[in-house]
């Protein structure tokens, strides 16, 4: 059942039927009702390929997925996707993942824009002066950055959490508890979120005339194993820290294991605070010692990004407004006063 048939059946022109269905004003309300009625009764659904060719609108949002044998997709992605998908569903949007060589995403961005394959895109895990952001900005496709970039001479729309504030608060708590030697086990420090977190820690220390020992900050891919290794290294060297701030719950698993392996305890010897993106399958309160966290649901962020993308597609949102969400500091058993 296509438009032509429907129009013929109603003894109307395709124009009128099309307009009736799409809510244009120049059609009699009575006629519109008849049309919509018939459309529903016959289960008419406009062919998206045709609509797409005619309008350029696709009803899809895009994401360029970096791939490659040695490229691991961040497990956070799936949670983000949950939120995104949940919102997208309610707005009849589909998500298209365009796999790209991790080292050449530009080609793919250009392709999906040139081919008008999607109405909008989002960018995640941005770095300072991220080329992807600059690119989509000049290409002129609606977009939202999940996270933040830095160092551009233009503004852009983003949704981010207050990473600096979160890690500042976490560090401040530890300092108040008497800790003087903090360590930071961070994610990839080429990404902005990690830079902000480190900044937060340093600022808190500086406020108490303390500093972050360069040997006490490390930047690694966020796996359990790397959390373990980093902790071993930190604790086995001289001037070991008494408190650790950690960028992910998965790494925190490794931290806990390392501390135990060394015959130390949390929080007796080591206080620990980690960032929690809120996974359903791994919860900080269920650590052997309930874990203090800076908490922010990445799923909600996904939903919010979808919402903003939809708004931009339909023209309801414009401009380069960035938004920064506050982060909760949730104190549980893994922190205590510094050992004497």
Residues at the site binding DNA, with contacts judged by CB under 7 A: 2-4, 11-16, 18-19, 21-22, 26-29, 31, 44, 46-47, 49-51, 53-55
CA 50 to chain centre: 33
Nearer to a copy of itself, 143 or 279 (CB): 279
Residue linked to tokens 């023209």: 315
State in angstroms the smallest separation of the CB of 109 from DNA: 20
Instruction: State the residue for tokens 């797409």.
Output: 52
User: Would you tell me which residues interact with a copy of itself (CB under 8 A)?
Assistant: 45, 47-50, 52-53, 56, 58, 60, 65, 67-69, 71-75, 77-79, 81-82, 85-86, 88-89, 93-101, 111, 114-117, 222-225, 228, 250, 253-254, 257, 260-261, 279-283, 286, 288
Question: Contact at 8 Å (CB) between 162 and 199?
Answer: no
Q: Which of 5, 3, 8 is nearest to 19 (CA)?
A: 3
- Give the whole-angstrom CA distance, residue 292 versus residue 173: 11
Output DSSP code: residue 44: -
Residue 101 touches which of DNA, a copy of itself, none (CB < 5 to 8 A by kind)? a copy of itself
Partner interacting with residue 27 (select from DNA, a copy of itself, none; CB below 5-8 Å by kind): DNA
Report the nearest approach of DNA to the CB of residue 315 (Å): 13
Between 51 and 332, name the residue whose CB sits nearer to DNA.
51
CA dist., res. 198 & res. 183, Å (int) = 10
Question: Measured from the CB atom, is 23 or 238 closer to DNA?
Answer: 23
As a whole number of Å, the end-to-end CA separation of the chain is 79
Q: Using the minimum distance from each CB to a copy of itself, give the nearer residue, 100 or 141.
A: 100
Q: How far is the CB of 311 from a copy of itself (least distance, A)?
A: 18
**Nearest approach, Cβ of residue 219 and a copy of itself (Å):** 16
Instruction: Give the side-chain half-sphere CA count within 13 A for 142.
Output: 23
* Of residues 316, 314, 320, 328, the one with CA closest to residue 120: 314
- 212's contact among DNA, a copy of itself, none, with CB below 5 to 8 A by partner kind, is none
Residues 46 and 30: their CA atoms lie apart, in Å, by 21
């Amino acid at each position: 059942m296509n438009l032509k048939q429907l129009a013929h059946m109603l003894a109307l022109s395709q124009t009128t039927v099309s307009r009736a269905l799409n809510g244009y004003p120049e059609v009699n309300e009575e006629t519109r009702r008849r049309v919509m009625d018939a459309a529903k009764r016959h289960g008419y659904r406009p062919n998206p390929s045709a609509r797409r060719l005619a309008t350029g609108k696709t009803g899809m949002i895009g994401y360029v997925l970096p791939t490659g044998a040695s490229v691991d997709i961040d497990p956070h992605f799936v949670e983000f996707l949950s939120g995104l998908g949940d919102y997208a569903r309610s707005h009849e949007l589909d998500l298209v993942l365009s796999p790209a060589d991790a080292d050449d995403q530009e080609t793919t961005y250009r392709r999906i824009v040139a081919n008008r394959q999607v109405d909008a895109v989002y960018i995640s895990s941005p770095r300072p002066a991220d080329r992807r952001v600059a690119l989509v900005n000049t290409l002129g496709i609606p977009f939202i950055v999940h996270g933040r970039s830095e160092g551009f001479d233009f503004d852009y729309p983003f949704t981010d959490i207050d990473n600096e504030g979160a890690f500042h608060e976490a560090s401040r708590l530890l300092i108040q508890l008497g800790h003087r030697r903090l360590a930071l086990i961070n994610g990839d420090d080429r990404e902005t979120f990690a830079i902000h977190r480190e900044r937060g820690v340093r600022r808190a220390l500086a406020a108490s005339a303390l500093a972050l020992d360069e040997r006490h900050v490390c930047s690694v891919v966020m796996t359990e194993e790397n959390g373990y290794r980093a902790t071993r290294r930190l604790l086995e060297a001289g001037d070991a820290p008494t408190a650790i701030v950690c960028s992910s719950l998965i790494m925190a698993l490794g931290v806990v294991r390392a501390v135990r392996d060394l015959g130390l305890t949390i929080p007796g010897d080591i206080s620990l605070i980690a960032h929690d993106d809120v996974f359903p399958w791994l919860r900080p309160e269920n650590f052997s010692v309930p874990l203090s966290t800076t908490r922010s649901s990445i799923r909600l962020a996904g939903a919010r990004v979808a919402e903003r993308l939809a708004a931009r597609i339909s023209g309801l949102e414009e401009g380069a407004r960035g938004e920064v969400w506050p982060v909760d500091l949730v104190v549980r058993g893994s922190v205590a006063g510094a050992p004497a």
